[in-house]
Amino acid sequence: MMQRKSLPIGIQTFSEIRRDNHYYVDKTHLAVKLAKEGKHYFLSRPRRFGKSLFLDTLKELFEGNEPLFEGLAAHAPWDWSVQYPVLRFSFGGENFRQTPSLAETLDAQLSLLENQHQLPPQVDSISGRFAHLIVKLRQQAGQPVVILIDEYDKPILDALLHPEVARANRDFLRGFYGNLKDYDAHIKFSFLTGVSKFSKVSLFSGLNNLYDLTLIPDYATICGYTDRDIDTVFAPELPGLERNAIREWYNGYHWLGEGVYNPFDILQLFKNRTFKSYWFETGTPAFLVDLLFQRQIPSLKLGEMISSSSMLSSFDVDDITTEALLFQTGYLTILKEENLGGQYFYTLGYPNREVYQSLNESLLSVLVKDKSQQALQSTQLYRLLEANNFEGLKQLFHRFFASIPYHWYTKNDIQSYEGYYASVFYSYFASLGLKVTLEDITNLGRIDMTLTFNGQVYIFEFKVVEMAPEGKALQQIKDKAYADKYRGLQQPIHLIGVEFSKASRNIVGFVVEQA
């Protein structure tokens, strides 16, 4: 039986993992493949997915630290007789909401590199010093330079709520990154990582040979753990944990290849032995949730959004599509790819239970405001469902809608949109991790929402009415025989018609029948 090793929680240094007997999932075969097949690369992955560790692996590989790679895939094919000088930059540790921050950070990093290689600057500008380092280091070492840039986009993402600062940072970086093109003859290899994929026009003007690995199937597993990794490398950690639950909670991220698990979640799970939303709780950007509300995106739509390949690539300060933002930050993933007339389209949805549950909880918190009250309502909802207390459910949701301030409705022109009201129901159920199906197709129509829970089926239809209940919601369920689709389960089926009044902005009809 394999011996347990140390969990590399929070460790992004390849040498520390290898020397101190930590678990390591070997990605070095991909590093060798990159070095042999190309020169300038870009990779977008969500935060805490192992991008920094892969970058550090590349650094050790090109610097020729052979002992670290013994027993790994890269050891045999790599030429250890050649060592390349490496320039590594990282924007991960700073906050860039203030204009001078970016220049100060790069000044500090350039000074360290200049001192390390004993190459004092000959010019004052940040971009000029970078160029000077590339040229002089090539001359000094006799080998072309390797350039690694971690979190290349953070100076822009940090300032998205301050567009003027974001644009200034973007323009500053355009000049800095332009050296990759201008001094290509002195460069052996470059690799840039980040969360977002800014368009080449906005940030990499002229750098047409930057190869984007983000949606290349061969590199789908360059960051993250596969099912095989969990079952082999981490086999000593699995006893006592339900394997399918690990898959349900944390697997499901797809970049047009094999699906992967979030490494941060897996390591935290093995440490704490409890299923929780570890990755989500480390910091969901507030602007993301606010943006969904500003754009009036109901949570019902998040489980299945359609995007084109151009939409996923058109990310810029002044042009951020909802789909691109949610995909690149890891809150949605690719469920299906279609080639229609030469244009690629992607169906996006939640990768796993953690994101499904936690994102809906965050969306609810924008409405509820009071987290204590939200927690109380969620626990009440679960218990009312367990007891099939439908009158209690009606009162619970009635109290919730009544608590939403009037001005919220007036600044969000959606009081007549039934999708908004249905989204509240959906997000409450989803935040508890319950299994909800939206717009389930039958031969006679689409069911608004189906909940399967506790060995029972709950079919919901939502309608917006002028003032008084009209009974249309329940009647539609019956007229279109929605229950027939679920009779084969041989479980109790509850038909629930919910009607909302435009006038009172609350539930006026909540009728339940057994199928």
Q: Give the CATH number, domain containing residue 397.
A: 3.40.1350
The amino acid at residue 57 is T
| Residue 251: inside a domain | no
Helix or strand (DSSP H, E) at 423: helix 418-431
Q: Is the pLDDT of residue 416 over 60?
A: no
Which of 171, 190, 219 finishes a domain?
A: 219
In the predicted model, what is the mean pLDDT of the chain? 90
Cα–Cα nearest to 510, from 467, 473, 465:
473
Q: Is 150 helix (H, G, I), strand (E, B) or coil?
A: strand
Q: Of 219, 252, 281, which residue constitutes the final position of a domain?
A: 219
pLDDT at 494: 97
Using one digit for the tens of pLDDT, what is the confidence trace for 321-366?
889 989 999 999 999 999 999 899 999 999 999 999 999 998 888 7
Does residue 287 sit within a domain?
no
The answer to whether position 357 is within a domain reads no
Q: 418-431 and 353-368 are packed helices; what angle lies between their axes, rounded to 10 degrees?
A: 120
Q: Is the pLDDT of residue 103 over 90?
A: yes
For 180, the domain range is: 26-219
| Confidence check: pLDDT of 409 > 60 | no
499 φ, ψ (degrees, to nearest 5): -125, 135
Question: What is the per-residue pLDDT for 202?
Answer: 67
Q: Please check whether residue 282 lies inside any domain of the structure.
A: no
CA distances from 431 to 325, 348, 357, 402 (A): 21, 19, 4, 20
Residue 331 lies in a domain: no
For the entire predicted model, the pTM comes to 0.91
Domain end position, chosen among 154, 185, 219: 219
Of the ranges 43-47, 200-204, 310-314, which one carries the lowest mean pLDDT score? 200-204
Q: Could you tell me if residue 226 is inside a domain?
A: no
Give the model's pLDDT for residue 415: 46
DSSP 332-382: SEEEEEEEETTEEEEEEE--SHHHHHHHHHHHHHHHH--HHHHHHHHHHHH
- Whether 429 is covered by a domain: the verdict is no
- Evaluate whether residue 230 is within a structural domain: no
Q: Output the domain CATH number for residue 117.
A: 3.40.50
Alpha-carbon distance values, 377 to 211, 424, 494 (Å): 49, 12, 22
Percent of the chain with pLDDT over 90: 68
Instruction: Give the C-alpha separation, 437 to 448, whole Å.
Output: 8
Q: Into how many domains does the chain fold?
A: 2
pLDDT at 401: 83
